[in-house]
Structure 1
Amino acid sequence: MVLQSRAYTFDARPDYPLLVSVKRYWDPQASSDAPDALTLVWTHATGFHNEVSEPVIEDLYALHGLRIHDMWAIECPNHGASAALNERELQFGYEPVFGWSEYARAVHLVLTGQGTGVDVDFSKRRLVGIGQSMGAVALELSLTYFPRIPYHALVLVEPMVMNREAAEGPHEFLVNGARNRRDVWPSKPEAYKLLKSRGWKSWDDRVLRLFVEHGMRSLPTAEYPDKTEGVTLACPKRQEAASYEDPLGVARCYGFLKHGVKRVPTHIIYGAIDDYIPAFVKDDVIANAIGGKQHLASLSRVENAGHLVVQTNPKGLAEKIHQALRRHSVGPKL
């Protein structure tokens, strides 16, 4: 399989001030124009970028039995390539807090065609949103805007959703981790070497290489105007911390889930390892925010993975997504 891709810049100005990097993926040998073929829309976790989902996309395409038209990744406006596009705008009004509603708004604008740069009528597609962590929240909150996005289904991967008391725990850990992390390296090869030898060695190597390639950018930047050599994070750590500082996205999604699952068939996939999100938090979301797993299209767990399931076990995640999506689109038997 040779995965093809094309990058776009979505522009909804003057109605929305931030540009959005969007990427289309397709397999020329497997893409289907059948009326029931699915269009998958990917959203990422805090600190990442569009390309982080590529290994899951590749592994999902390798599993036969689904009719897939193509796949699209929509980036959070202060992450990845979008962060560079919005470098000046992000310095005022998006710190010290960057609301997750901004990501939801960006997803809504792209999928409802309220801008230029992506010449696709998504209203005619069978859309399935697949999001990890913050990206899952963005997909869910995109349901709260009008006009409605015609989702066929949603797949929420390790959604960062919890009640108010539980949210206080990971908040400080994540904010401090973002603020204190190293964010300058001599070069991309050096960055890869250092990250590979440390805590990031548990990541699928494909994901780590994509993070170095697309999650980093050359200096100088607005963050480091005087540094002329080396690389830094594409999503500045101040913006990553600002994203973690938003208390409203988590809370609003917690309160809205019981309505969202009634509007759109919703699959939740957690990692089998309860790390960033404790088991009691997941149980509370299913029992109280949703009202019981009977309201979900499916609930599953990925073995040998925690919150960073996209990064550590993309193949296992692809298998669970495949199982979920077979309920919505079954291709020819091979």
Structure 2
Amino acid sequence: PSPDYPLYITAKRYWLAEFEAHDADPEALTLILLHSTSFHKETWEPTVERVFRHLSQRGARSGLRRVKVRCAWVIESPNHGESAQLNQEALQHPPFYRSFCCETYAQAVHRFLSAGLEHEARVDFRTQRLVGIGHSLGGCAISLLQHIQPIFTFSSIILVEPMMSAGGPGPIHPLRVMLIKHAYERQDVWCSREAAWRSLQGRRRTENWDPQVLKLYVKHGLRPHPGGAYAEAPYHGVTLACTREEEVTMYRDADGATKPVAVLDEFCTRIPVHVIFGAVNDFVY
């Protein structure tokens, strides 16, 4: 945090020891991954692990060995996951109180990338060949990032079910209403992480999740309930890291589904863009 930006921005860096051979290679890729609404940075871990397995020497038969990756950075929205707990006080005051949106996430990512040289690791993202990967909210944010000055040059972008609407806000309105309803109705308190695990395993929304994603959600998508600080006996209750109110605020972002489209129209003429939609048209189609 700084006087002009009182929020923590957290991220994790993933790599394999064999990738260190590419540190000085200008063609090696640095992956920048952004998560979706109500999730957390660690939700990408099973995907990153699978990609790295294909890229590693052990996965040479996949034909991807020629692709060189330096590392992957997963950057968290400041009102989600671990970041939300660090920022819980600042999020209760202007200008961040009930105001987070796709662009706010993009601005946080830009701030993190810009601060690289100030960090003790001295990471200069401007000299690296960046690939942006965003899921849902993250797809909108990685798109909006492309027009924030000073611009970070990306070599390509991958959008996974981005919450965008090329036809204006109308077509996505029913989905927005449904997501807001579900967010308000979502259970947000459990007596323990074990209870949360048992409860979430039986939910229709989570039954198709990769088991590892669900485990990571229970570990990183929940946080100790703040009421525990006032309990006389040890209290193990947990609540959502991204509160229901913060989740709803993201869904109500008036320009969140449309503004990224205009930016996409511009940068897709300069760099390759790959868009992935789910086989089942249950959310974005």
Q: What's the TM-score, normalizing by structure 2?
A: 0.87
Task: Write the letter of the residue equivalent to 2:217.
Answer: F
Task: Write the letter of the residue equivalent to 1:26.
Answer: W
Structure 1, residues 262-309: CA drift from partner, whole Å, max 9, x if none?
23321111112111113xxxxxxxxxxxxxxxxxxxxxxxxxxxxxxx
Cα distance in 1 for residues equivalent to 2:159 and 2:173: 22
Shift of 1:213: 0.4
Q: Is 1:177 the counterpart of 2:182 in the alignment?
A: yes
For 1:26, the equivalent position in structure 2 comes to: 15
Cα distance in 2 for residues equivalent to 1:111 and 1:263: 21
Task: Write the letter of the residue equivalent to 1:177.
Answer: H
Conserved? CA contact 2:32–2:132, under 8 Å:
yes
Cα distance in 2 for residues equivalent to 1:105 and 1:253: 13
Q: What's the TM-score, normalizing by structure 1?
A: 0.75
Shift of 1:98: 2.0
Q: Is 1:138 the counterpart of 2:127 in the alignment?
A: no
Shift of 1:61: 0.7
Q: Is 1:165 the counterpart of 2:170 in the alignment?
A: yes
- 1:173-322 correspondence runs (5 A): 173-199=178-204, 200-220=206-226, 228-278=235-285
Task: Write the letter of the residue equivalent to 1:69.
Answer: R
Shift of 1:250: 1.4
Conserved? CA contact 1:77–1:102, under 8 Å:
no
Conserved? CA contact 1:24–1:73, under 8 Å:
yes
Shift of 1:97: 3.7
Residue ranges of structure 2 left out of the alignment (5+ in a row): 56-64
Shift of 1:17: 2.9
Conserved? CA contact 1:46–1:243, under 8 Å:
yes
Shift of 1:35: 2.5
Task: Write the letter of the residue equivalent to 1:78.
Answer: N
Tell me the secondary structure at the aligned position of residue 44 of structure 2: helix
Provide the aligned C-alpha RMSD in A.
Answer: 1.8
Structure 1, residues 47-99: CA drift from partner, whole Å, max 9, x if none?
00100000000010111322110110110110011111111111123344422
How many residue pairs get aligned? The number is 265
Cα distance in 2 for residues equivalent to 1:179 and 1:116: 40
Shift of 1:26: 0.8
For 2:61, the equivalent position in structure 1 comes to: none
Residue ranges of structure 1 left out of the alignment (5+ in a row): 1-10, 279-334
Tell me the secondary structure at the aligned position of residue 164 of structure 1: coil
